[in-house]
Amino acid sequence: MKFLDAFCGIGPWMHRDRLLPYQPHEILGLLDHFGIDQALVHSNFSADGGNAEWGNERLIDACNQSGGRFLPCLSLRPNPHRDECTMDGYLDLMRSCGSRSLWLVPSNLALWPWFFEDVANACIRHRIPVFFHRDMTNPEQLHQFCQAFPGLRIVLVGVGYGDDWWLYPLLRRFENLHVCLGHFYIPSHGPMRFLDHFKANRLIFGSGLPHFSPGGMVAHLMYADISGADRALIAGNTMEHLLNEVTL
Amino acid sequence: MTRPLIEYGRQGIPVDFPVFDMHMHVGSFGTSKSPDLSVQVAEMERIGIQWAAISAVEGLYGDIPGGNDLVADAMRRYPNRLIGYCHVSAQYPDLIARELERCFSIPGFKGIKVYQTGTDYDHPLYDPVWEFARSRCLPVLAHTWGGNLTGFDRAAARFPDVVFMAAHSGSGFVYQPYIDAAKKTLNLYLDLTYSREHTNMIEQFVTEIGADRIVWGSDVPTFSMSQQLGKILFARISDDDKHQILYRNAARLFHVKVG
């Protein structure tokens, strides 16, 4: 069974704790330890508020030197200035570096549909899965965003064990919304309970590296009382399928 | 037991050593109904967790006698799997002596649980609790959060014969206050129960404090039992340290024979 970590950052960031690894070779070593085959990686620098283009350049370099273990997930922070990368520029960059997903970084926690219209429509057109972190939005904004762009393939990361009360209704309404396990979507009775309500292809394995260690998540999935096919979908097949459907 | 412990986690193999979950709950939270206790115990059996020490969610939210009744009932249903904490609170000082006497007349109660609800643990209102723990040789588990031990370490220093276990050590990735407190206070134990798994933190605790004073719990039905177990199975520490954390320490502190 293939493990593809859909939630993994690399490189330095502003508020790093001294215990946390950040260099690409350190992350590769951890992937080996935890038995993870590949990781869809984003730039810690960009995700933490740094210049997205700066972070993306270094991310692409690291991916190119990873022997195919790192798959680039470029960070996108919309910016109105003409000298910044446009959506067409992003699509060209994605084509050139083999990126098939975007890490959306809304400024000031503002996931406004009108603001992201061009980005979302381009991603729908090219079937590009878009990631964003639960801490960068709130359930009401997320609902508005999903409602405005029902065809957009969204992977929500950073959801917690106590979020089911609003997450389940949202998942019922929007079939293109996916939930990443990382870094703490660990409600009691684990994936079994989720699969009573939704198909396995709505749940995606991810760790939250380097902030969070993948061991608990791997065990959460490997001990789950679910079919081997469902386990494989969660571990990596669904994410891989989403990436393969991109039409860039 | 010759298989490296990481392999259990990698392959999802039920553990065949007597894992002791020293921080589990029964009952339900407000926003999410917990799985039935029978589901919880079936999961213990499926994964291979032999013992769990439980307190009741309802007690945490204020119904202290009702919560302790729930624990007693759960232990009656599963006497070979569950032992109990008697929950008391300084917010209800009139209930402290009565609940302690009542609980410890019931077989299965083997520890005391306290929670951060507004009175620091070193407040004199808690002294009868620590005195009771000392007289009966009972370990005490206290909720702590984000490096704020709210006097638990100071109470531990005043009662060196009592085992004090600080729940959620390292929560919020604030690990240094727990390390500092445990270094100063040798009867203070670190409970690793915590939703998140900060990279390298367990390894840091073991390096700084030693595995002899670290205990493992799941916090079920709040979290996933297997996810919490996986944190230790995959940790980059020795297998001997993992055995120490997963059951040897708890068995010793609760005077429970495992295996």
**What would the pLDDT profile of A155-212 be if each residue is shown by its tens digit?**
999 999 999 999 999 999 999 999 999 999 999 888 999 999 999 999 999 999 999 9
**CA A180 – CA B230 distance, rounded (Å):** 18
- Judge whether residue A12 has pLDDT over 70: yes
Q: Is position B86 within any domain?
A: yes
Question: Are A186 and B236 in contact (CB < 8 Å)?
Answer: no
ipTM of the complex: 0.96
The alpha-carbon radius of gyration of chain B (Å, integer) is: 17
pTM: 0.96
**CA B225 – CA A17 distance, rounded (Å):** 27
The per-residue pLDDT for B29 is 82
Q: Is position B183 within any domain?
A: yes
**Interface residue B47 vs chain A (CB under 8 A):** yes
**What would the pLDDT profile of A84-121 be if each residue is shown by its tens digit?**
678 899 999 999 999 999 999 987 778 899 989 999 99
Domain extent, residue B117, equals 5-254
Q: Which of B165, B93, B162, B88 lies closest to B131, judged by CA?
A: B162
**What would the pLDDT profile of B13-43 be if each residue is shown by its tens digit?**
999 999 999 999 999 887 777 888 999 999 9
**Interface residue B25 vs chain A (CB under 8 A):** no
E-only strand ranges, A112-247 = 130-133, 154-157, 159-160, 177-180, 183-184, 203-204
Q: Is position B173 within any domain?
A: yes
Average pLDDT on A209-229 reads 98
Taking contacts as CB-CB distances below 8 angstroms, the residues of chain B near A234 are none
The per-residue pLDDT for A78 is 77
Q: Is position B227 within any domain?
A: yes
Q: Is position B185 within any domain?
A: yes
The per-residue pLDDT for A94 is 97
Question: Are A218 and B196 in contact (CB < 8 Å)?
Answer: no
* Mean of all residue pLDDT scores within chain B: 96
C-alpha separations of A48 from A7, A106, A169 in Å: 14, 11, 29
β-strand partners of A180? A204
Give B61 to chain A, closest Cα distance, Å.
17
Q: Is position B259 within any domain?
A: no
**CA A52 – CA B95 distance, rounded (Å):** 57
10 Å Cβ neighbour count for A14? 9
Give B6 to chain A, closest Cα distance, Å.
9
Residue B22 sits in a domain of what CATH number? 3.20.20.140
Q: How many residues does chain A have?
A: 248
Shortest CA distance from B174: residue in chain A: A17
**Interface residue B38 vs chain A (CB under 8 A):** no
C-alpha separations of A4 from A156, A158, A165 in Å: 16, 17, 28
Nearest to A217 among B199, B221, B227 (CB): B227
Taking contacts as CB-CB distances below 8 angstroms, the residues of chain B near A15 are none
**Interface residue A196 vs chain B (CB under 8 A):** no
A&B contacts, CB < 8 Å: 128
**Interface residue A214 vs chain B (CB under 8 A):** yes
Domain count, chain B: 1
Q: Which of B223, B182, B192, B244 lies closest to B19, judged by CA?
A: B244
Taking contacts as CB-CB distances below 8 angstroms, the residues of chain A near B227 are 186, 190, 216-217, 219-220
**Interface residue A218 vs chain B (CB under 8 A):** yes
Q: Is position B234 within any domain?
A: yes
